[in-house]
């Protein structure tokens, strides 16, 4: 796993870690069953607080990308290809509407309208 954090970026460090792990999963660089580094080890490697990496891992787990197995560690979770592609499309949509200045409520309504038009 190859991660880096840009301290000058306006993107919070936990988000940089989270998005890089997702990108590596989607690119097939991190496959199901791959064990991620322990929180403290990765935090030390990246020069971050352990809580920052823990937050990234927690959000990855909530999004279904990884699973924590207690003392055994955190592992990349197996996911079907459609789910991975759909999650990527959702993130791309969110980035696009944010750049356009569309509110979250309006963005969700646009999704609802598009689903009704199917």
Q: What is the pLDDT averaged over residues 91-108?
A: 93
Ranges assigned E (strand) in 1-118: 66-68, 74-76
Token pair listed for 7: 């301290």
- Read off the pLDDT of residues 8-66 as tens digits, 9 standing for 90 and up: 999 999 999 999 999 998 888 888 899 999 999 999 999 999 999 999 999 999 988 99
Q: Could you give the C-alpha distances from 89 to 34, 43, 85, 94, 95, in angstroms and in order?
A: 24, 29, 6, 9, 10
Q: Give me the phi and psi of 28, to 5 degrees please.
A: 80, 10
**81 pLDDT above the threshold of 70:** no
**Contact (Cβ atoms closer than 8 angstroms) between residue 30 and residue 76:** yes
- Read off the pLDDT of residues 102-111 as tens digits, 9 standing for 90 and up: 999 999 999 9
**Contact (Cβ atoms closer than 8 angstroms) between residue 76 and residue 32:** yes
**Contact (Cβ atoms closer than 8 angstroms) between residue 42 and residue 36:** yes
- Name the band, by pLDDT with cuts 50, 70 and 90, for residue 84: low
The whole-angstrom separation of Cα 25 and Cα 19 is 10
């Amino acid at each position: 796993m190859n991660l880096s954090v840009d301290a000058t970026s306006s993107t919070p460090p936990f988000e940089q870690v989270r998005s890089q792990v997702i990108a590596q999963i989607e690119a097939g660089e991190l496959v199901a069953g791959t064990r991620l580094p322990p929180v403290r080890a990765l935090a030390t490697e990246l020069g971050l607080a352990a809580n920052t990496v823990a937050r990234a891992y927690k959000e990855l787990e909530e999004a279904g990308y990884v699973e924590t197995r207690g003392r055994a560690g955190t592992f990349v979770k197996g996911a079907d290809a459609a789910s991975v592609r759909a999650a990527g499309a959702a993130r791309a949509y969110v980035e696009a509407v944010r750049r356009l200045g569309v509110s979250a409520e309006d963005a969700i309504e646009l999704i609802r309208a598009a689903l009704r038009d199917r």
